[in-house]
Structure 1
Amino acid sequence: MFFWRDHEYFDPWPLIANPEDLARPENPDDFFDAVEALARLISPTLTMHLLEPVQQLIDEPILDPSIVSENRLLAKFSLAQQRHWAQILAESDIDVLFLKGFAYGHSFYPDPVLRQQGDLDFLVRPSDLSAVMSFLEKFGFQFRPAPQSRWGAISDASFMPFVTPDGSCDLDLHVHPDCYPAYCSLTTERLFAESQLIDAGGFAARIPCREHALLLCVTNAAKEKFDMFSARKVIDAMVLLRNTPDLDWEKVLSLAAEGNYFIPARIFFSLMVALGFPDSKIPAALLASLPRWRRNSFRKIVWRFKTLFPEDPNLLSLLWREWALCAEPAVAFYNLRLRARGMVRPGSGIPEGAPTKVEYS
C-alpha cells in the first residue's frame, strides 16, 4: 500500500511477479479497486489467471464472474478466428512465423485464451511480401487505415491492419520482427533459423525461440515508451522466465548489445525487479545501477506501473523518456529523423503493391 498525489493505491505487481510469496491483502477495498484497474488494463481473463493464488485466500470473487465469463467468451471467439487464418497461412507454400500474443499464448501460458488480445501478428521474409498479400487477397483481405500521428505511419517493421471482409480478424503483417533497432540483431532470417514449432490447436505453427521472444518483449515495451501498452509485455516476460529455468542468457545479452538496445534491456529487467520479480533470476549485467540522469525517469515509470497508469502522459514527457530510457543515442536520433521526415511526407502504412488500396478519409 502506498500514497501518490494524496490517493491511496494498492500495488498488485508483487502478486503477479512473485506469486510464491503471497499474503492475504490487508485492505480489501483498495485491493479490489486495483484488481478492477488491472482487468481494464490487461483483460479480466488474464487478471483472474494471474491472481488465482490470491483468489484462494479470499472468500468473495475478486472480479465480477459475469464480466470474466463474457470476456473469456469473446477471447475464445477471437482465438478461433485467429487459429482459422493462422492454419491457412501455416499450411500455405509461404514461410510464416507467428509473433506476440498468438505465439506467447500458445507457449508461455497453460491456455492461449488467457493471452488472447489484439491482432494476429505474423512475420514473412521481405521477398515473400507480395506473395502473401496476393494469397490473402483471394480470401477478401483488405488493408484498413488506422488513425495516424502527426508524422504518419513510420513503422519499418509492419503495416496497417490487414482485415477479413467481415472484420472478425485483423492480421498484422511483419517483414521485420520489430522496429529499428530490434532487427539489427533479431533479423527475420535469424528468427526463422532458430524458431520452434508448436501445436496451435490442431496444426503446427512456427514461433520464435524463447530467447528471441523475451527480447521482443523488451523491444516492444521500449517502443511503447514503457507505458500502459507495455504492461502485457512485462507480464509475458515474467511468465516466460518463471517457466524457463534453462534460458540462454548469454544469447540474450549478446543480441541486445549487437542490436543497440542494451540500455532498454537494462531498463526493462530493472523495472521487472522494481515490480517485485526476483532479481536472482536475472543476470547482474542487466541490473547494474543507472546513471543519475536516467534514475528520475525510471522512478516515474515504476510509479506509473504501480499506480496502473491513472492518467495519460504528455507528448513532451514521452519524448524525454525515449531519450532517457527507451533508446540508445543513435537510435533516438534515428527515430527523430523518421518523425521529421514523416511530418513532411507522412507514410500511409500500406505496402507497395498492396492488392487493395485503401485511401485515408
Structure 2
Amino acid sequence: MALENTPMSGIAPNGDSKLSTWRGRISFIDLMQSVGLLAVILLGSAIMSVLSPVFATVRNIENVLQAATIIAVVAIGQTFVILVAGIDLSVASVLVLSSVLSVGLVEFQGFSPVFGVTVALGAGLGLGLINGLAVTKLRIPALIATLATMTIGRGLAYIYSGGTNIAPVPSFFVELQAARIFGIPAVIVLTLALALIAQIVLSRTAFGRSVYATGGNPLAARLAGINTERVVIIAFMISGLMAAIAGLLITARFEAGAATAAQGMELAVIAAVVIGGVSLFGGEGNMGSMLLGVLLLGLVQNAVNLLNVPPNWDSVVSGLVIAAAAALDVYRRNYLEAGMRRKVIASKSS
C-alpha cells in the first residue's frame, strides 16, 4: 500500500513527519505481505513441479492464468467495494446475466453483437447502482442488499436463457479467446491492463483517496468534505461493471452464454481479495497484492486437481486459506498497526 493509499490520506496534515513515519511502516508491512505471497507462490510451484510433471508445462500454466483472469477481473471490482468496507455477493449473478444477455440478444432477438455487449455491460452497471443505492439510501447492510441482487440476477439469467447455456456465440468472442498479444493470450493482457488502470485510479486520483478514506474512517472522511455515499455507490457500480466484463470473458472461454456457470464464484472472489491483503475492515489494500492472491488461489485449485484430490476437498482447502488470510488481516490490524500507532504517539509526546 503506497503512502497515499492510507485511510487518512488527504485528511491528515502533510507536515506531520511522525504520521509520515507511521505510514511508511504500514507500507513496509504491505510490502512484506506481497513478498510473502510471492514466496509462497514460488515455493508451492517448485513443490508442485516435483509432485506433478504436468504442473510446469506451458499449457497448464497458461490454463491456470486464463482461468484466473475471470476471477481477477471480478476481484478488481470487489476490491473497490471491500475498500469502502462493503461486500458484494452479487458478482457471480451479474457475471452470468451479462454472459447470457451478450449472446441471447444476438441469437434470440437478432441484435448486433455490439448492442448485446453494450446491454450486458449496462446491466452490470445498473445492478451495481441498485446495490449502491440500497446500501447508502435505504441503509440496508451490504451483505443483505447484495444477497438480494445475487438471487434476482441469477433468476433473471435463468428466466432469459431457459436455464441452459446459449450457443453459438458471435465470432467476436471466439476471436477474443484466440487472440494473442506478443504471444500472450489477449485475455491475460486485458486483465493486467484493467488492474493497472484500477491501481492508478486508487493511488493517483482524488476518487481513489476518497475510497481509502471512506473505508478507513467514514466519519473523518465526511468531516473532510468527502461525499461518502457517492463514493460507495460508485464503488458498487465499478464492481458491477467488472463482473459484467468477466461475464464477457467467460462467454469467450466457454463459447456459450454461460447461464449455469460461476456457482459459488462470489466466495472465491472474496477469498482471493482477502488473501491478497485487502482488509475486510476497509481502507487498506492494493491491486498488486490482490492479483497475487488470485494467482495463489488459482494455483491451489490447480494443485488439488492435478493431485487427484477428491473434489469436495477443494472447498475445504479454499476455506482454510480464507480463514488463514482473515486471521492474518485481524492480527495485522489489531496488533501490528496498533503497536505502530502507540509508538508514534509515544515518540510525539516525548
TM-score (norm 1): 0.26
More strand by share: 1
TM-score (norm 2): 0.26
More helix by share: 2
